């Protein structure tokens, strides 16, 4: 009788280890039925959190919470305890965690309280603030499995440099969050930890590859987390969970992920990944980015560019925005089209200049194809070898996209890079308006559709384009999908297979989108994250005046 594949036993042991790290007192007495979509209310009603812990986890963003701790309104320990509890609840409902180290976090919080009592000053800007960590980043003593059985039970010997930098600023790490198998998916599912669910609507995807981060923060089991992005993996989960997320320029915040699957030697070959924040507020994203910049990682990270944080003195002025409503591959569905048009009108009503590029140049379409080719230059051998090692099958989204093929030759790499440079040179012209003045930012969709069902994400062209160009970009929540959005007519066809899937498979289930979050993607110039955040803030303030009670502001 044939023995079962090794990955099954590994997954069983890993899940048992995970369960053992959740205190019995923090376990839910019962779980909601599968037909309960929005589960955020459970944190408040389950009885595990005290009234004060509910206040701590629901009232503030990371910036406000840091201030409350500095003023000793809350102790580091009670804040850490509140978020550990809420993360435990989130895990039971959403399957959003991988590694759990609550005990370590609570001990760290006690040390920080002692420091504040003895020194009278915080360790740094993040003193006592709990921060969650995408599984692919290393935390000493714990696995970074990339959703692969072959990488389980191989704890890191040292933490990623970004972890060390944030701990030096006072941060408290308490858990790592779920990702897709091989990180190569926009839906976070693997055979070790299972599928992560969306706290806003468990019928829809939580996104990927930083999907565990998005779900945990969407549930407010964290206020601020670290993600990575090679084709949309920060911006997509931010969109799915009604949050803010920023993908910086690739080499500004590089931090070696530390797993065998993301070896430092692969950096700079193909699409480089970006390290960035996902948070409940834009200023929380800025706080993390500034802290990491101030840590001067370029002194220890060979791939990180020396770029100290710049404080931009802003004065109210009309800004200039270019709107890209299509990538010429997949026409956005009506809810996405409508929120772009509304945003343009709102910005214009505030005196900002808006130019809508209804007919973008053809190189926009070329970027979509180039990103797909560059993403697969390695030929899938690395991931396939790791899967074969334990007999692990591919998950649904990965299966049709990952297969062994010949890796790109040196000549092919040269040609791809040459084409990318040519297209990037053309793309730089987008920044100039007809009067010769530069645009402050570009606004476009995060995706051509609202948040879809699991395993239904239709390509990543709207996000991967800016990985190809290596321009910083971020996602901000706009509003929720309305009945009027669902009754609006479809836009023009492009004739591509991607567009056909969008207009049929994704739109046929449009009722599922009702009430789900819509987001905008804001794009800046390379290495100008500070200017990007200013533009994001301007757009956020404009749309916040009309979006009303959004998912982001949902009171539990």
Catalytically annotated residue among 145, 210, 233, 464: 233
Taking the C-alpha atoms of residue 423 and residue 222, their distance in angstroms, rounded to an integer, is 39
Strand-pair partners of 521: 444, 475
Helix or strand or coil: residue 304?
coil
Closest CA to 327 of 203, 158, 496: 496
- Does 276 carry a binding-site annotation? no
Catalytically annotated residue among 209, 255, 281, 293: 209
Cα–Cα–Cα angle for 289, 100, 384, nearest 5°? 80
Closest CA to 478 of 511, 512, 446: 446
Residue 371 annotated among the catalytic residues of the structure:
no
Token digits of residue 509:
């289930």
Token digits of residue 283:
């200023």
Q: Report how far apart, in Å, the C-alpha atoms of 180 and of each of 32, 97, 140, 468 are.
A: 24, 12, 22, 22
Catalytically annotated residue among 14, 134, 176, 525: 134
- Does 232 carry a binding-site annotation? yes
Tokens 């003195």, residue located: 313
- Does 380 carry a binding-site annotation? no
Residue 159 annotated among the catalytic residues of the structure:
no
Contact yes or no for 81/53 (Cβ under 8 A): yes
- Does 544 carry a binding-site annotation? no
- Does 228 carry a binding-site annotation? no
Burial (0-12, 13-18, 19+ Cβ within 10 Å), 482 = middle
Helix extents (H) in 46-101? 51-59, 62-70, 76-94
Token digits of residue 369:
């194809």
Identify whether 4 is preceded by a cis peptide bond (ω within 30 of 0).
no
Closest CA to 232 of 214, 220, 252: 214
Strand 224-229 and strand 130-134: pairing? parallel
- Does 233 carry a binding-site annotation? yes
Q: What is the CA radius of gyration of the chain?
A: 22
Residue 516 annotated among the catalytic residues of the structure:
no
Annotation: binding site: 183, 209, 230-233
Active site residues: 134, 209, 233
Annotation: binding site for substrate: 183, 209, 230-233
């Amino acid at each position: 009788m044939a023995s079962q594949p090794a990955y099954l036993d590994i997954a069983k042991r890993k899940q048992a280890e995970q369960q053992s790290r959740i205190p019995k007192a923090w376990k839910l007495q019962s779980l909601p039925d599968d037909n309960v979509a929005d589960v955020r209310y459970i944190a408040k009603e389950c009885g595990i959190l005290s009234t004060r812990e509910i206040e701590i986890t629901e009232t503030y963003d990371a910036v406000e919470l840091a201030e409350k701790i500095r003023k000793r309104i809350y102790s580091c320990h009670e804040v850490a305890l509140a978020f550990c509890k809420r993360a435990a609840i989130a895990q039971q409902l959403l399957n959003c965690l991988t590694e759990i180290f609550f005990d370590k976090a609570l001990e760290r919080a006690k040390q920080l309280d002692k420091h504040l009592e003895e020194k009278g000053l915080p360790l740094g800007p993040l003193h006592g603030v709990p921060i969650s960590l995408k599984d692919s980043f290393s935390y000493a003593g714990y696995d970074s499995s990339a959703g692969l059985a072959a990488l389980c039970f191989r704890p890191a010997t040292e933490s990623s440099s970004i972890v060390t930098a944030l701990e030096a600023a006072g941060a408290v790490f308490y858990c790592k969050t779920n990702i897709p198998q091989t990180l190569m998916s926009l839906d976070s599912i693997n055979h070790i930890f299972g599928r992560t669910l969306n706290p806003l609507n468990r019928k829809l995807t939580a996104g990927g590859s930083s999907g565990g981060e998005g779900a945990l923060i969407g549930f407010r089991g964290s206020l601020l987390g670290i993600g990575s992005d090679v084709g949309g993996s920060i911006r997509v989960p931010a969109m799915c969970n009604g949050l803010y997320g920023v993908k910086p320029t690739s080499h500004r915040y590089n931090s070696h992920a530390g797993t065998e699957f993301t070896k430092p030697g692969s950096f700079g070959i193909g699409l480089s990944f970006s390290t960035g924040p996902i948070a409940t507020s834009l200023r929380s994203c800025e706080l993390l980015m500034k802290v990491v910049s101030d840590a001067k990682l370029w002194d220890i990270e060979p791939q990180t560019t020396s770029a100290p944080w710049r404080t931009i003195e802003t004065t109210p002025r009309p800004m200039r925005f270019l709107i890209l409503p299509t990538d010429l591959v997949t026409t956005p569905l009506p809810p996405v089209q409508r929120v772009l048009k509304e945003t343009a009108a709102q910005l214009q009503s505030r005196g900002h200049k808006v130019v809508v590029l209804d007919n973008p140049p053809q190189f926009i379409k070329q970027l979509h194809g180039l990103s797909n080719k560059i993403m697969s230059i390695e030929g899938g051998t690395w991931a396939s070898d790791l899967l074969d090692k334990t007999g692990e099958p591919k998950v649904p989204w990965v299966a049709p996209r990952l297969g062994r093929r010949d890796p790109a030759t040196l000549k092919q790499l040269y040609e791809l890079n040459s084409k990318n440079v040519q297209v990037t040179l053309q793309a730089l012209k987008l920044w100039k308006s007809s009067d010769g003045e530069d645009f402050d930012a570009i606004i476009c969709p995060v995706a051509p559709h609202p948040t879809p069902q699991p395993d239904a994400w239709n390509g990543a062209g709207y996000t991967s384009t800016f990985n190809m160009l290596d321009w910083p970009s971020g996602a901000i929540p706009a509003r929720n999908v309305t009945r009027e959005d669902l009754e609006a007519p479809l836009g023009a066809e492009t004739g591509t297979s991607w567009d056909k899937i969008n207009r049929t498979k994704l739109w046929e289930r449009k009722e599922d989108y009702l009430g789900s979050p819509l987001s905008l993607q804001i794009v800046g110039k390379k290495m100008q994250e500070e200017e990007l955040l200013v533009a994001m803030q301007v757009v956020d303030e404009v749309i916040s005046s009309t979006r009303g009670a959004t998912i982001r502001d949902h009171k539990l």
